[in-house]
Amino acid sequence: MKKLELKFENQDGKIVTYSLDQPVEPVNPATVNAAMDEIIAQNAFTSTGGDLVTKKSARLVERTVEEIDLGQ
């Protein structure tokens, strides 16, 4: 399953990551950029280190899980 990770810096200088499941693909960088700007402008999320103050990065992450047969 793919996730879109949005990374912000908060007032304490710490990186805060929000993950969104099943993003629309292909991901539009301009849309993601605008959405992150709006999240900061609207103060939509809080963190233990204060308000989000700047965008750091965004990335599409895909995780693959393979079960291991333990023969039990």
- Tell me the mean pLDDT in the region 45-59: 95
Q: What global pTM score does this model have?
A: 0.85
- Tell me the mean pLDDT in the region 23-44: 96
Element (H, E) at 35: helix 29-42
pLDDT at 26: 95
3-state helix, strand, coil in the chain (%, to 5): 20, 40, 45
- Tell me the mean pLDDT in the region 14-41: 96
What radius of gyration, in Å, describes the C-alpha atoms of the chain?
Answer: 16
**Taking all residues of the chain, what is their mean pLDDT, rounded to a whole number?**
95
Task: Give residue 4's identity as a one-letter amino acid code.
Answer: L
pLDDT at 65: 86
Quick one: tokens of 4?
A: 């879109």
pLDDT band at 72 (very low <50, low <70, confident <90, very high): confident
